[in-house]
Amino acid sequence: MNKNKIAITLGIMCMLLTIAIAIQIRTTKNNSLTVGQTLKENSLRDEVLKWKEKYDNKYKELEVAKKQLEKERQQSTSTDENSIKKQEELKKINAYLGLADVEGEGLIITVKDNTSTSKMGTAEDVAHDGDIRELVNELKNAGAEAISVNDQRITPYTAINCIGTVVLVNDERIGVPFVIKAIGNQERLWGALTRPGGFVEILKSWGINVDIKKVNNVQIGKYTGVLNYKTMENTK
């Protein structure tokens, strides 16, 4: 009997011990799962925080880039406006110097020698270089923006001279008929040339033939020679 009791007692103790071990293992496993889950959550949280920090930094860089782009865009626009203004100024300068083809309303004046027999053989029966110069000056004073004589563009440096019976404009030989083209306000140019007592009236009194026409689209070519700046110095 004692042996049976002892065996039963040992069996019960082994069973209780087994149950206790099983409970302990389950508890440990649950704790491990809880700890593992907590560690995983902490790791994910750290990863999220890292990506958020990267996003914030990239967002700040993007904002800086946007501001820089806008600044460059404004500078580019300002540069374009300045460039356009400079190009317009350059066009005006080239037109004034005769270095650009131009067109616009104006006059075409044709000057021919005297064909009347009453004055032929006199000094007044032919048009001279001085007559062309005077007509050009009349047009300039009336506000002509561009002038040519027999397609020779008049520039600030143009000389109109004669050698014998030949007239030189820009050192190029030209002869009658002299065709003078002028671009500018038609009425003003017309009034300057046709006014009573004006130079055209004087030429006609000498028998010189002067024909003046208003033209809505006068075309004047640019000066094709080389401008010589003999006395002008660059001060910059």
What's the pLDDT at 66?
63
Q: What is the pLDDT of residues 123-179, one digit of tens each?
A: 557 888 899 999 999 999 999 999 999 999 999 889 999 887 789 999 889 988 999
181 vs 73, residue with greater confidence: 181
What's the pLDDT at 147?
96
Give the gyration radius of the chain's Cα atoms.
Answer: 51
Q: What is the pLDDT of residues 103-119, one digit of tens each?
A: 999 999 999 987 764 44
Specify burial of residue 147 (Cβ count, 10 A radius: 0-12, 13-18, 19+): buried
Domains of the chain, with CATH numbers?
Answer: 102-220 (3.30.70.1880)
Q: What are phi and psi of 117, to 5 degrees?
A: -70, -15
The edge-to-edge listing of strands for the beta sheet with 160-163 is 160-163, 166-169, 172-174
Its pTM stands at: 0.61
Q: What is the pLDDT of residues 184-235, one digit of tens each?
A: 999 999 999 999 999 999 999 989 999 999 999 999 999 887 766 554 444 4
Strands (E), the chain: 102-112, 146-149, 152-153, 160-163, 166-169, 172-174, 178-183, 209-220
Q: Which whole-number Å values give the CA distances from 216 to 90, 108, 183, 187, 202, in the listed order?
A: 25, 10, 9, 12, 27
What's the pLDDT at 234?
47
Q: What are phi and psi of 127, to 5 degrees?
A: -80, 135
Residues 6+ apart with CB under 8 A from 210: 109, 110, 111, 200, 203, 204
Residue 39: pLDDT band (50, 70, 90) is low
- How far is Cα of residue 223 from the mean position of the Cα atoms in its chain? 24
Q: What is the pLDDT of residues 44-53, one digit of tens each?
A: 777 767 777 7
Contact (Cβ atoms closer than 8 angstroms) between residue 223 and residue 153 = yes
Rounded to an integer, what distance in angstroms lies between the CA atom of residue 24 and that of residue 29? 8
Q: What is the pLDDT of residues 5-36, one digit of tens each?
A: 666 666 677 676 777 776 766 666 566 556 55
Contact (Cβ atoms closer than 8 angstroms) between residue 181 and residue 108 = yes
Q: What is the pLDDT of residues 74-105, one digit of tens each?
A: 666 655 667 777 777 877 788 788 888 999 99
